């Protein structure tokens, strides 16, 4: 497919498909890519909005694919149900007052002090017209294994968000039956692997280190700031954002950064442009979401 003209599918233009193929579904075989895109289009899920993921990994018989939907995707599907009535969800902390009635699908949750203590769980109530409420409660001990799993940093740094999302997904699956069938294709003969990017890495990795340790230079004449100065300032800000995203991905060493950039970043010149940096940050956002998804998403 790398040398074949892509045709629009659903709401995805040929340019959209090219971008998905080279980023979100990178490494997928042609049949896998076709399945992923058509599944997303049929379900009305947008991979650009992090609603659905294409997870590709190496199996015994070649590339394997897992299609997963995020909590945003599950909520999006739930909202399309004609009987959708909304939901509530929140984390519960040790000093909160909390009572739950599973039979009625109701909770009494009161925050009586700002010193709420540690998070002990989360809940979600999914409402549906003409159907009983579905209440899901997730306790801390049920998800503690994620703190030692593949992506412990995400769970440790964003524990409240992660445990609440866990409750939301389970409630929506029970209330609305949000499911998409999954299939795997391993036809190696049809693989047309996208070549890895081969950027010039020395400038950007060195500048990441400078951004991490040095303050931004003072502008002597801000009133007469030139376009070049403005662009340089924007690039400095984007590189600072890149540094933070590397942290979220658990990539801290220079060699690891260079390896990541070699695979996912392409520069046409000696220095990155604003557009190239913006594109890289979008790819990093997708990988951050994918990193979170690997630990937290439910297979579909």
**Domain containing residue 79:** 72-179
Mean pLDDT of 14-23: 90
Give the start-end residues of each E strand in the chain.
52-59, 62-69, 84-93, 97-101, 106-110, 119-128, 134-139
Domain identity same for 18 and 79? no
User: Residues 61-117: pLDDT tens digits?
Assistant: 778 888 888 889 999 999 999 999 999 999 999 999 999 999 999 999 999 999 999
Whole-angstrom Cα Rg for the chain: 22
Residues 48 and 186 in one domain: yes
| 115 and 62 in a common domain | no
222 vs 241, higher pLDDT: 241
pLDDT of 52: 92
Residue 10 has pLDDT above 70, yes or no: yes
pLDDT of residue 182: 39
The whole-number pLDDT of residue 202 equals 37
Query: Does position 155 have pLDDT exceeding 90, yes or no?
Result: no
Instruction: Round to whole Å and give the CA distance between 160 and 165.
Output: 9
- 155 and 246 belong to one structural domain: no
Query: Do the Cβ atoms of 78 and 84 come closer than 8 Å?
Result: yes
* 229: pLDDT strictly greater than 60: no
Is 167 within a domain? yes
Q: With 70 as the cut, is the pLDDT of residue 291 above it?
A: no
3 exposure class (CB count in 10 Å sphere: 0-12, 13-18, 19+): exposed
Are 146 and 186 part of one and the same domain? no
> Mean of the pLDDT values across residues 291-298?
57
Q: At residue 130, does pLDDT exceed 90?
A: yes
Q: Are residues 50 and 84 in the same domain?
A: no
Residue 8, in any domain of the structure: no
Judge if 144 and 91 occupy the same domain: yes
My answer on whether 88 and 209 are in the same domain is no
Same domain? For 210 and 276 the reply is: yes
286 and 210 within one domain: yes
Q: Write down the pLDDT at residue 294.
A: 55
Any domain includes 296: no
Residue 85 and residue 55 share a domain: no
Q: Are 177 and 245 in contact (CB under 8 A)?
A: no
- Tally of domains within the chain: 3
Q: Which of 190, 224, 242 is the last residue of a domain?
A: 190
Look at residue 215 in the predicted model and tell me its pLDDT.
41
Residues of the chain with pLDDT > 90, as a percent, come to 37
Q: Contacts for 94-97 with beta carbons within 8 Å, 24 or more apart?
A: 94/118, 94/119, 94/120
CA–CA dist 53, 68 (Å, integer): 5
The per-residue pLDDT for 283 is 78
Chain-wide mean pLDDT for the chain?
77
């Amino acid at each position: 497919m790398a040398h074949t003209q892509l045709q629009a599918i659903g709401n995805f233009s040929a340019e959209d498909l090219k971008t998905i193929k080279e980023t979100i579904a990178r490494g997928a075989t042609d049949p896998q890519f076709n399945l992923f895109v058509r599944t997303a289009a049929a379900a009305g899920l947008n991979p650009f909005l992090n609603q659905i993921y294409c997870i590709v990994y190496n199996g015994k018989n070649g590339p394997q694919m897992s299609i997963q939907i995020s909590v945003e995707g599950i909520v999006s599907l739930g909202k399309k149900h004609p009987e959708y009535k909304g939901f509530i969800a929140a984390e519960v902390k040790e000093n909160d007052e909390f009572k739950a009635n599973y039979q009625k699908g109701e909770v009494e949750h009161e925050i009586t002090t700002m010193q709420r203590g540690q998070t002990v769980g989360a809940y979600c109530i999914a409402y549906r017209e003409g159907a009983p409420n579905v209440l899901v409660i997730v306790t801390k001990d049920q998800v503690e294994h994620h703190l030692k799993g593949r992506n412990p940093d995400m769970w440790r740094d964003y524990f409240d968000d992660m445990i609440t999302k866990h409750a939301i997904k389970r409630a929506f699956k029970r209330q609305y039956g949000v499911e998409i069938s999954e299939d795997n294709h391993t036809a190696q003969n049809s693989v047309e692997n996208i070549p890895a990017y081969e950027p010039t890495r020395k400038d950007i990795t060195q500048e990441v280190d400078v951004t991490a340790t040095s303050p931004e230079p003072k502008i002597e004449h801000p009133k007469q700031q030139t376009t070049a100065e403005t662009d340089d300032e924007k690039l400095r800000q984007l590189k600072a954002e890149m540094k933070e995203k590397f942290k979220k991905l658990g990539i801290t060493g220079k060699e690891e950064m260079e390896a990541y950039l070699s695979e996912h970043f392409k520069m046409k010149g000696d220095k990155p442009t604003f557009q190239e940096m913006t594109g890289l940050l979008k790819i990093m956002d997708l990988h951050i979401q994918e990193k979170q998804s690997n630990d937290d998403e439910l297979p579909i």
